Amino acid sequence: SDLQKHVERGELLQPLIFVLLVLCSVLLYFKVSLMDPGFVKPEEEGKEGEDKGQGAVIPQIPGDIKLRRCGYCLVKQPMRAKHCQLCQHCVRRYDHHCPWLENCVGERNHPLFIVYLSVQLVVLLWGGQVTWSGLYFGQSWELLKHNIFLLVSFLLILIFTIVVLLLLISHLYLISCNTTTWEFMSHHRISYLRHSELENPFDQGIILNLWRFFC
């Protein structure tokens, strides 16, 4: 049959891989958007190791900076945690609230968020290449009309690709510095950063920062 011939020639392998990547992207989206990003729970107060996964508190941070109680949910905030008024919870190692996910990006789902962006970027690049290869460039207006759907699709894919690429690069840069989007944008308003002798007291070198984040 024709299907068997396509399989034997390996012509169905690439479409199958593309569909699997799209499916993986969708599953990652729901996983990141539905999972607990690292909500601080009241019953966790007083437990040891509150800063697990958030980067060690090194001596350059003044010792007189104490954990404060959140004015909204009244839990004692670990260092690097922040209250999200949209989620109505304090989030450990808070990075940002993503409107596309309708969830915070924090200690627990930040690595998966990076994986999701990476898979999404591959899907967009692949889709852009397929769309571009289908365009036929000619001087006739009729040819342009026949290509208008592919052309609009390519422009939309190009815009989303640029957005995802810039977002991924910015997050990888911040991760390599062991800082978060919130800390980077609000450095002057955060007590443990404002009173620290170092600009970023959590930075332990690119390799160790990446290792601790992903592993």
Report the distance separating Cα 201 and Cα 55, nearest Å. Answer: 9
The amino acid sitting at 201 is P
Q: Is 98 a catalytic residue?
A: yes
Beta bridge partners of 69: 76
Cβ proximity of 39 and 90 under 8 Å: yes
Catalytic residue among 98, 104, 177, 215: 98
Beta bridge partners of 39: 91
Report the distance separating Cα 45 and Cα 51, nearest Å. Answer: 12
| Side-chain half-sphere CA neighbours of 80 within 13 A | 25
Name every residue whose Cβ is closer than 8 Å to that of residue 153 and which is 6 or more positions away in sequence. 131
The tokens for 177 are 């510095």
Report the distance separating Cα 194 and Cα 75, nearest Å. Answer: 23
Comparing C-alpha atoms, which of 133, 136, 205 is closest to residue 176?
205
Kindly list the catalytic residues: 98
